A and B are shown apart, each in its own frame.
Chain A
Amino acid sequence: AQSVSQHNHHVILSEAASLELGCNYSYGGTVNLFWYVQYPGQHLQLLLKYFSGDPLVKGIKGFEAEFIKSKFSFNLRKPSVQWSDTAEYFCAVSRVYNFNKFYFGSGTKLNVKP
């Protein structure tokens, strides 16, 4: 079945540690890729997105993600996390021919210890 997988369900880091959250998808063909963040008590916000072009995408708040087509992956990274990055992170995929229809991963809860 077609799916979006986030293998890390819960990650705990200390401030200044580096972060990498995995995202893999199983859809064939061309896709659009997204990372959303949900801070406690708030709605989903877009961190970054990839449609085409440079596979290394830079987003807000120092986040970046790299699309590796051969691995069907779109991992999220940040060199040095802050306590304020504590949140839940969702990877999402949409098909190019149906841009608006999103399929989400199960989310990764990140706790950053001060």
Chain B
Amino acid sequence: GAVVSQHPSRVICKSGTSVKIECRSLDFQATTMFWYRQFPKQSLMLMATSNEGSKATYEQGVEKDKFLINHASLTLSTLTVTSAHPEDSSFYICSASDPLEQYFGPGTRLTVT
């Protein structure tokens, strides 16, 4: 199956700083990528749909000014958590889709101190 990578796998940052997470589709071009957030013992919650060359579409309740998404190429989408706070600590997972399936990255563990 297709491979999706995320970088970094783990990041610790101080409250008030911004953090960028990269998601890459390594062996196919992904017009659409997705960003999820996973809380402990809970499901993946879809945050936004990232479309190459256009603005991301955010799910209800997700602050677009806080979670900035850029999908500048067919293989790269970035999620920037701006002015991070401890409540933003979570596991962030991206996925890339082709017409038949979504392929998930390994996730990024963000801890805000």
Say whether A associates with B. Answer: yes
Interface residues of A (CB under 8 A from B): 4, 9, 36, 42-46, 49, 90, 99-107
Contacts A45-B104, A105-B43, A106-B43 aside, 6 further interface pairs with beta carbons under 8 A come to: A42-B106, A46-B102, A90-B43, A99-B99, A104-B36, A106-B41
Beta-carbon contact of B32 and A43 below 8 Å:
no
Interface residues of B (CB under 8 A from A): 1, 4, 32, 34, 36, 41-46, 49, 93, 95, 97, 99, 101-102, 104-107
Beta-carbon contact of A103 and B46 below 8 Å:
yes
Beta-carbon contact of B43 and A101 below 8 Å:
no
Beta-carbon contact of B43 and A46 below 8 Å:
no
Chain A residues lying within 8 Å of B32, measured Cβ to Cβ, are 100
C-alpha spacing A90/B22, complex, angstroms:
24
Interface of A (DSSP majority class): strand
C-alpha spacing A103/B102, complex, angstroms:
12
7 closest A-B pairs by CB: A44-B104, A43-B106, A106-B43, A104-B43, A104-B44, A100-B97, A43-B104
Chain A residues lying within 8 Å of B49, measured Cβ to Cβ, are 100-101
**Given contacts A100-B32, A100-B97, A100-B102, A43 and B46 within 8 Å (CB-CB):** no
Of chain B, the residue at the smallest CB distance from A98 is B49
Chain A residues lying within 8 Å of B36, measured Cβ to Cβ, are 104
**Given contacts A44-B104, A46-B101, A100-B34, A106 and B93 within 8 Å (CB-CB):** no
Residue in B42, B43, B95 whose Cβ sees the most chain A Cβ within 10 Å: B43
Beta-carbon contact of A43 and B44 below 8 Å:
no
Beta-carbon contact of B107 and A101 below 8 Å:
no
Q: 13 A-B Cβ contacts within 8 A?
A: A4-B43, A36-B104, A43-B106, A44-B93, A44-B95, A49-B101, A100-B49, A101-B34, A102-B46, A103-B46, A104-B36, A107-B42, A107-B43
C-alpha spacing A68/B21, complex, angstroms:
39
Chain B residues lying within 8 Å of A45, measured Cβ to Cβ, are 1, 104
C-alpha spacing A104/B95, complex, angstroms:
13
- Give the Cβ gap from A108 to chain B, nearest Cβ, in Å: 11
C-alpha spacing A104/B104, complex, angstroms:
13
Of chain B, the residue at the smallest CB distance from A43 is B106
